[in-house]
Structure 1
């Protein structure tokens, strides 16, 4: 951690801001208001995580135990984010992956817990997925710690859902 990170964290606290965006110009392919996402999603917990940047309780997701081949997609827009071969048991209580599908996620700096972290979200709809850490296994050394409630697992052999379009 460097001086800038400490200063930015302190500024966020004193200003009453819980989140600073690293890229204010970032635009998502799917431009849907939070109000509309609330109408689309039938799951309060998923909405809270995806569009209010919440976190589910550790060990609460059935996806922790999922071991079949398949694809994990964003629960909001159905963008494929992870292949099941990228999943591993991190012991953290959340589904964890050592890599993402190309172009599937975007990142930004998060100061919610004062110390900076890297948040990642669906690059298509902006839905918050989790945080990425540098303590994962090879070959990437990354741990994409994901909220299970923000994902849908599609087993291999089943058709992926069609991408949601702006409504």
Structure 2
């Protein structure tokens, strides 16, 4: 170890990955770096993974499924041990490609009956928030959902605010 330090030896992680068949790297694709929520989540995920001995490779799809597939391909070519994706709208071929590479996927920001996930029910969360505001006496509500294309979280948020799961007060409005 002393000689390695004196010589400035740096471990060749590519060689180690070949021998162990593990890269200690996880790929993450977020819809946009322009949304602070994704940046904060990525930062938190990276801290957690670093503590567990993993490095994170991150990319942005800009809500474009073809771009996301391209980024997944790049990450799989680099031998990531796992992938974290946002939401549940992805090219079906993405799942097949990850499965062929034996790389697990975890879905974030929404729930799934098919994939491992860390998320929440966007409709229910917005419904509860809307009802809380209605209980405080507010009469008019609006919701800004952001991008809806290839985003399975935006519409349920608007629905949760609008419907109130059957609770409708006179004068209540919703805006998507």
Give the structure-2-normalised TM-score.
0.22
Higher relative contact order at CA 8 Å, sep ≥6: structure 1 or structure 2? 1
Answer with 1 or 2: which has the greater Rg: 2
